[in-house]
Amino acid sequence: MKQLLKVGAFVFLALLVFDSCKKSKEASETTGWNYNDPDWGGFEKSEQKGQPEGPNLVLVQGGTFTMGVVDQDVLFRYNNLPRRVTVSSFYMDETEVANIDYREYMWWLRRVFGESYPEVYFKALPDSLVWREELAYNEPFVETYFRHASYNDYPVVGVTWLQANDYSKWRTDRVNEMLLIKKGVLASNSEQRDEDNFNTEAYLVGQYEGMPGEKGGLKDPMTGEPRRARFEDGILIPSYRLPTEAEWEYAAVALQGNQQLKDERISDRRMYPWDGTSLRYQRRGKYQGEMLANFKRGRGDYMGMAGRLNDNAHITAPVRSYMPNDFGLFNMGGNVSEWVLDVYRPLTSLALDDTENHDLNPFRGHVFEQRVLDEEGKPVEKDSLGRIRYEPIRDEEVAERMNYKRANVVDYLDGDKESEVFYNYGVSTLISDKARVIKGGSWADRAYYMAPGNRRFLDEDRSAKTVGFRCAMTRMGGPQGNDDTGGHQFPKRFSKKKKKRKY
């Protein structure tokens, strides 16, 4: 009898615990229905907190700043007039993309596409001939700079804007695949070939299956069975991409280091990505007098004299050389110039000043696209490389919209009919819709070009031995990081305990 009483008490306690667990489930503030509860419909709310941070990324907290040339424009270009803008928070690579990073990309392309589509591999190869000169013996760099282990940690060069964008897309897929493997949703699969390779978009629309992970991964609350990941789960990251010009310039100047405590005043503006006008480290200590960047000090002087090399780099330097700026970013001045997303226009700043709503995240270069859909409104079958198909949006499809009227706005107010500006490419100018902005000075430039506001351009299908790139990523959620919910959260001072209603 005592034994039966003990068993009965144990069962009663278990039922109480189970009932309390059910009652403690989080409920919707709108309907009162429980989240993640099969008895209440099974609507899922992810427990993921914040945005997963991709490898090598640093959070750049957004804010307002004066974009453009704030110092003397000694070349009188007037192609980046000062104007006040705001940049949203975003992530940016701590370093430039290195040779070893890009070689990993090339290795993956050869492994996956090399047998059936070798042209994909060859299309992505950097142009090593950028090192060749008529009157200089740089031929060894043609063979060694990209491939030799001695240059593993040096920035990749000879990469076009188009190639840099393809790399960013590939990196997005590899990082998301890694996140799903670690979560147990997918198993690692090194046998992917041709179109059967992990692509984030193809996975999310159900056109890539993959091998299920051994850990069980995510469970459907209605059935308890393993299910696919969704973007709403918060596991996947948004796309890696090139930074916009505004983002790059904001990250380079890094004025947060000059902000006065507890207010919005900036003590000093900056000519370079560091304080002052000196190109050497000023504070006392073992680094005093050391160069702050890799640049050309004068005619014929790329690194100084033997025994006391001023920047210790005759061409490029390793990507983690010199002092990082106040955002923790290396080589935002010097080493290599860097591709950004924007199409180049000399009058961009004027267009932004004269047009409303372009002082938040300014950018030029949109060609809006949409997925190719079948009769049922679903994406058509992915292409032979495993990518979801896109097509440009036609102007007649956006005619009724209020926020934009054209799908291709590359030349908006600067090169279109409304602007009455005409770029006669190859006759009176080298500017076209293919011209992309490059920012920052390089190892072969004088210090003038290291000012964050300076800008130059290069066609998107061309490359140079002085131009590399780094990736960025949009920040989702609060601007201050994963612990930030956004907005100022004030306590509910006048909240009252709700009385239970009797029915």
Going along the chain from its start, the domains and CATH numbers come out as 2-40 (no CATH), 56-185+235-365+409-483 (3.90.1580.10)
Predicted pLDDT of residue 356:
52
**CB-count exposure of residue 340 (10 Å: 0-12, 13-18, 19+):** buried
Number of CB atoms found within 10 A of residue 48's CB: 14
Predicted pLDDT of residue 442:
96
Tell me the H-state helices in 229-378.
245-253, 348-354
Nearest to 297 by CA among 138, 72, 448, 96: 448
Strands (E), 291-398: 304-305, 308-309, 337-343, 369-371, 390-392
Could you tell me if 218 and 227 are in contact, meaning their C-beta atoms sit under 8 angstroms apart? Answer: yes
Predicted pLDDT of residue 249:
96
Q: Indicate the pairing of strand 83-87 with strand 304-305.
A: unpaired
- pTM of the predicted structure, to 2 decimals: 0.90
Nearest to 440 by CA among 425, 458, 417: 458
Mean pLDDT by 10 residues, the chain (503 residues): 52 48 73 91 86 93 88 73 91 98 98 97 98 96 97 98 98 97 93 96 95 84 89 94 97 78 66 83 74 90 86 94 94 96 83 65 94 96 97 90 91 87 90 96 94 94 98 93 77 53 44
Predicted pLDDT of residue 50:
86
Predicted pLDDT of residue 341:
98
Predicted pLDDT of residue 20:
44
**Rounded to whole angstroms, how far apart are CA atoms 109 and 197?**
11
Predicted pLDDT of residue 232:
93
Predicted pLDDT of residue 6:
52
Q: How far is CA 302 from CA 254, 279, 287, 296, in A?
A: 27, 14, 20, 5
- Which residues on neighbouring strands pair with residue 435, listed in sequence order? 459
Q: What's the maximum distance between 2 C-alpha atoms anywhere in the chain?
A: 104
Could you tell me if 453 and 68 are in contact, meaning their C-beta atoms sit under 8 angstroms apart? Answer: yes
**CB-count exposure of residue 347 (10 Å: 0-12, 13-18, 19+):** middle
Evaluated on CA atoms 421, 242, 80, 259, the torsion sign reads positive
Could you tell me if 71 and 448 are in contact, meaning their C-beta atoms sit under 8 angstroms apart? Answer: no
Q: What is the torsion angle, in degrees rounded to the nearest 10, for the CA atoms of residue 206, residue 211, residue 216 and residue 222?
A: 30
Number of CB atoms found within 10 A of residue 29's CB: 6
Predicted pLDDT of residue 502:
47
Q: At what angle do helices 161-183 and 99-113 cross, to 10 degrees?
A: 80
**Rounded to whole angstroms, how far apart are CA atoms 294 and 302?**
9
Tell me the H-state helices in 145-185.
161-183
Could you tell me if 279 and 447 are in contact, meaning their C-beta atoms sit under 8 angstroms apart? Answer: yes
